[in-house]
Amino acid sequence: MLKTREATTMIGSNPLGIKQLSYFLTVSNCESIADAAREIGITQPALTRSIQHLEDFLGLQLFHRTSAGIELTNAGERLFELGSGYMSSFVDVLSDIRARARKSQHSIIVGTDIDVFTTAIEKVAGQMEILDPPVEVFHQEIDPEEALSDLEAGRIDILLQSKTNDTQFPPPSLQSTTMACNEAYVVLRNDDPLAGGDTVPVEALTDRWLIAFSESRQPGLVDDLAARLAIPPSESNIVYYAESLHGILNCVEGGLGVGIVGGYLSEQKDSPISIRPLAGFEMSIPSTFSILWRSDRGNDALNETRAALLEHFNERA
């Protein structure tokens, strides 16, 4: 439930709150303290004291008391005019806040600590947009050192976390599913002859300059490739170790070589780069990552997004 704090204006030690203004407007519309008290749901003496407190605060008489009931004074009519507009604006603000809160329940932020998941998230976001009601999925790259704390604090809803540190375990407040993949992908320029097939045979890379992630990002990948291609360490054709997918893509686009990425990778949209599975090769150390979420924040939007991500990655495994 959305909670709001009562708005008050302070002059000296006297508070004028939304409640007092609402009571005044109700009395004005009912033209009777008794009728207004019944409508509000409080006792008549309590409502009378509230109106007297408001008059004392303003230093003005707001109502004429007559034998037939009450009627507004000139000051009361002015306050009614201004107060009605203020209350209408206040209700509009609350309605907008509630609408945003309802909308936020159908918005999911997926955080990632590396950028190889970008196209997977884009694909899942497209699937979520056509649901009824639609779910908005946003992607946010985050600092790996802050990933778990961002998820715990609610700054992101789902975390795709690379498993480069096997000693790092999620806290009990988080749930996770671990995925693993030992396949690899080749990153090519669209004009590369190898981009013409559905896959790239590993033997085709024997005489190509290769660009891979650093050892800390994908341990064992370079050694596995060298062993599979029977390349002596002194004759290694791996020329660049990248720390990000953007680095590999930029090097490939610049004609520096062919990129190699282990694990999950999808085709880049509207890009001069082609991505093809590497056939005849498996990594000895699988590329592993986890999908994490807050166990106490489950809702339909989050559950559906998480299920779509799992389905996407399971199809690739």
User: Count of domains in the chain?
Assistant: 3
Instruction: Tell me the range of 270-274, 278-282, 309-313 where mean pLDDT is highest.
Output: 278-282
1 occurs within a structural domain: no
Residue 159, H or E segment: strand 158-162
The answer to whether residues 124 and 188 belong to one domain is no
Please give the structure tokens belonging to residue 62.
């707001």
Shared-domain flag, residues 175 and 300: yes
* 173 and 297 share one domain: yes
The per-residue pLDDT for 2 is 24
Range(s) of the domain holding residue 99: 8-104
The CA distance from 213 to 135, in Å, is 34
Is the same domain home to 12 and 67?
A: yes
Alpha carbons 264 and 286: distance in angstroms, whole number: 11
CATH number at residue 257: 3.40.190.10
Q: What is the pLDDT of residues 129-162, one digit of tens each?
A: 888 788 888 888 888 778 888 888 888 889 988 7
Q: Are residues 311 and 252 in the same domain?
A: no
- Asked if 154 and 303 sit in the same domain, the reply is yes
**CA dist., res. 183 & res. 277, Å (int):** 8
More confident position, 175 or 217: 175
Taking only the tens place, the pLDDT of each residue in 50-74 is: 898 888 888 889 998 877 778 899 9
Provide mean pLDDT across the span 94-106.
57
Q: Is residue 167 part of a domain?
A: yes
- Arithmetic mean of pLDDT over the chain: 79
Residues 197 and 227 in one domain: yes
Question: Domain check: are 170 and 306 in the same one?
Answer: yes
Q: What is the model's pLDDT at position 53?
A: 87
Q: Do 16 and 161 fall into the same domain?
A: no
The CATH number given to whatever domain includes residue 63 is 1.10.10.10
CA distances to 17, 19, 134, 136 from 50, rounded to whole Å, are 11, 9, 46, 46
Quick one: pLDDT at residue 268?
Answer: 64
- Asked if residue 306 has pLDDT above 80, the reply is yes
